[in-house]
Structure 1
Amino acid sequence: MTAIKKVVRQIIKKHKSNDPFRIAKEKNIIVLFAELGNTFGFYSSYKRVQFIHINNQLEETIQRFVCAHELGHAVLHPRANTPFLRANTLFSVEKLEVEANTFAVELLLPDDVITQYQGTDLTIYDVAKMYSVPQELVHLKNFNHETERIFV
């Protein structure tokens, strides 16, 4: 099991939910909706207060994934300011973004959700779509041996 999957499992267990908005609220992370142009969302903190900013022009399902992704930054990279790093340094933020995407995929598509669809005609991509996970990020899902057999 990957470290990120383990962190996500602990969060789901603690909060009794995989809803990123609920978890953010319970972790006292302020979620703000605003017009952000081409930006889907970003995470920031100021004086130990954490914020998730989400583009209010996005569809609700995309907002859910963005919230999960930014929650990943809040949990995994609480002091990293990726917009600043991207704009003002040569530091590659690719690894941080992949980790936040992996966090979001594991949060929105936990193993118990996948096993619910065992024996159905649904593919992993169908299930992912139902749970707000973009098809192009499904490959980040870390399957355990049981869930791997369902869709392979």
Structure 2
Amino acid sequence: MHEMIQKLVKKYRTNCPFDIARSLGIHIRYTDLGKTTKGLYFRKLRRRFIVLHNGLTPEWERYVCAHELGHDRLHKGISRFFLEEHSYFQPGKWERQANQFAVLLLSEGQPLLPGEPLDVYLPRIGLPREASKFWISPTEQKFGYAGFTDID
């Protein structure tokens, strides 16, 4: 996953999920998704869409866009709704992977300073503090993280 993100950032010269999504031809839309849904990703007629809840803060908008971009890059052809309605698989694994993708993408090129706690680092780079549970240390990134073995 880390190599995939490095290639995306190098190719598009940014870690901005909005710019990368647009460059990949993914349409970004905003609408009221209710109180519990922050975003969704879907394909229709060979077109790809990221839909973001229109009431998100800028940091959450970036994070959710990166999360949905993670679904596009990691889970081609898999829809969360399809999984819940037509199989025995739980979407938790794919949601975790998309969250990890978002954290890795949005932290790419912005290293943690020596001794800097995560609760200071994440807001400094524009991530919500809640993203800390998906943080992967640089050592885990370099040597491989067990949670990524099924998709790398």
TM-score tier after normalising by the smaller chain length = 0.7 to 0.9
Alignment match of 1:46 (pick from 44, 47, 61): 44
Gaps spanning 5+ residues in structure 2: where? 143-152
Amino acid aligned to 2:59: T
CA apart distance, 1:61:
1.1
Following TM superposition, by how much is the alpha carbon of 1:76 offset from its aligned partner in structure 2, in angstroms?
0.6
What residue identity is the alignment partner of 2:129?
Answer: Q
What is the CA distance between 1:57 and its match in structure 2?
1.0
User: Are the aligned partners of 2:110 and 2:125 in contact in 1 as well (CA < 8 Å)?
Assistant: no
- Secondary structure at the counterpart of residue 113 of structure 1: coil
Relative to the length of structure 2, the TM-score reads 0.83
The residue that corresponds to 1:140 in the other structure is 134
CA deviation profile, 1:20-62 (whole Å, cap 9, x unmatched)? 0000000000000001002100000012211001000111111
- Matched with 2:22 is 25
Aligned counterparts of 2:84 and 2:31: Cα–Cα separation in 1 = 21
Residue matched to 2:58:
60
Aligned residues: 140
TM-score (norm 1): 0.83
What is the distance in 1 between the residues matched to 2:92 and 2:17? 22
How far residue 17 of structure 1 moved from its aligned partner, in angstroms, is 0.3
C-alpha deviation, 1:87, in angstroms: 4.1
Q: Which runs of 5+ in 1 are unaligned?
A: none
Does residue 13 of the first structure (1) align with residue 7 of the second (2)? no
Percent identity of paired positions between Structure 1 and Structure 2 = 31
CA contact 2:67–2:102 (8 Å) conserved in 1? yes
Cα distance in 1, alignment partners of residues 83 and 7 from structure 2: 29
Match of 1:74 in 2: 72
CA contact (8 A) 2:41 2:72 kept: yes
CA RMSD of aligned residues (A): 2.1
